[in-house]
Copies of this chain bind each other. A is one copy, B any other.
Amino acid sequence: MTKSKAVCLLSGGLDSSTCLAYAIREGFEAYALSVDYGQRHRIELEAAARIAQALGARQHRVLKVDLRQFGGSALTDNLAVPKDRSADEMSHEIPITYVPARNTIFLSLALAWAEVLGAFDIFVGVNAIDYSGYPDCRPEFLAAFEAMAKLATRAGVEQGQRFRIHTPLIAMTKAGIVKLAASLGVDFRLTHSCYDPDERGRPCGRCDSCILRSKGFAEAGLADPLVSA
Please list the residues of chain A having a beta carbon within 8 angstroms of any beta carbon in chain B.
61, 63-67, 69-72, 94, 98-105, 108-109, 111-113, 115-116, 135-136, 138, 140-141, 144-145, 147-149, 151-154, 156-158
- A72, A98, A148, A158 — which one has the most chain B CB atoms within 10 A of its CB? A148
23 CB contacts below 8 A, A to B, read A70-B112, A70-B116, A71-B116, A72-B112, A99-B112, A100-B113, A100-B116, A100-B154, A101-B108, A101-B149, A101-B152, A105-B109, A105-B112, A108-B108, A135-B151, A136-B151, A140-B151, A141-B148, A141-B151, A144-B151, A144-B152, A145-B148, A145-B152
Contact check: which of B104, B108, B147 meets A147 at CB < 8 Å?
B147
Residue of B at shortest CB range from A144? Answer: B148
A64-B67 CB under 8 A given contacts A100-B153, A105-B109: no
Residues in B neighbouring A65, C-beta threshold 8 A: 63-65, 109
Contact B112–A100 (Cβ < 8 Å): yes
Contact B116–A112 (Cβ < 8 Å): no
Residue of B at shortest CB range from A110? Answer: B101
Residues in B neighbouring A109, C-beta threshold 8 A: 65, 101, 105
Contact check: which of B72, B94, B103, B108 meets A105 at CB < 8 Å?
B108
Contact check: which of B61, B69, B104, B115 meets A152 at CB < 8 Å?
B104
Tell me the complex Cα distance, A149–B141, Å: 8
Residues in B neighbouring A113, C-beta threshold 8 A: 70, 100
